[in-house]
Amino acid sequence: MMKSNLIYKSIYFNTVLPVFCSLIFTLLSTSAIAQEKPPRPLQVATTQNLSFGAFIQGNIGGTVIVDPHGSRSVYGDLIPVNMGYQYLPAIFEIDAIPGSLINIVFGPDVTLTGNHGGTLLLHVDTSLPHSPFINPNGTSTQVRIGGTLTVGNSIANPAGNYIGNFSITFVQQ
């Protein structure tokens, strides 16, 4: 009886122990990923600045609107003129993961300052494509931004060039 017990222990150590050790070694040598890598960040490049062109103001003032398509509308007692100054929407090139949802968050209204004094109010509020949109493919997507410029009378807003910066946030989901 003693001999059969030794044979059983010998078979156990010769077959079960190596299998168990190799299983433990396999489990310890494999790497596990608990979370997927984050998506590559959204990249934005400005290719064209927003411009309202040239206009002549009267006694009351008014508004100038440049839409994302590049059309300009003038209201109040402002007269649009073509003096070599173009009116253009802002254009951004967005590079994002294909199929990602992108929201555009417009910043607050901005005060533009004139080179001869005065200030104008800029409200950026429209985009093409409309927000939110899905990035269709692996190439960059063009986003066009329009805005509204509020102009006072010629005393409050003397003729000249008005400049400023507006902010937009592109959120990739």
In a shared domain, residues 85 and 154: yes
pLDDT of residue 11: 54
In a shared domain, residues 3 and 75: no
pLDDT of residue 125: 86
| Structural domain contains residue 12 | yes
pLDDT of residue 4: 53
In a shared domain, residues 101 and 139: yes
Structure token pair of residue 90: 């802002």
In a shared domain, residues 14 and 83: no
In a shared domain, residues 141 and 78: yes
| 173 residues of the chain, pLDDT tens digit each | 555 555 555 555 566 656 665 656 665 555 555 555 556 788 899 999 999 999 988 889 999 999 999 999 999 999 999 888 899 999 999 988 888 889 999 999 999 998 988 899 999 989 999 989 888 876 788 999 999 999 998 888 888 889 999 999 998 88
Length of the chain: 173
* Domain count for the chain: 2
In a shared domain, residues 51 and 105: yes
In a shared domain, residues 116 and 146: yes
In a shared domain, residues 92 and 148: yes
Domain range for 19: 1-32
| Structural domain contains residue 38 | no
Read out DSSP for the chain?
-HHHHHHHHHHIIIIIHHHHHHHHHHHHHS---SSPPPPPPPEEEEEE--EE-EEEEEEEEEEEEE-TTS-EEEEEEEEEE-SS--EE-EEEEEE--TT-EEEEEE---EEEEEBTB-EEEEEEEEEESPSSEE--SSS-EEEEEEEEEEE--TTTS-SS-EE----EEEEE-
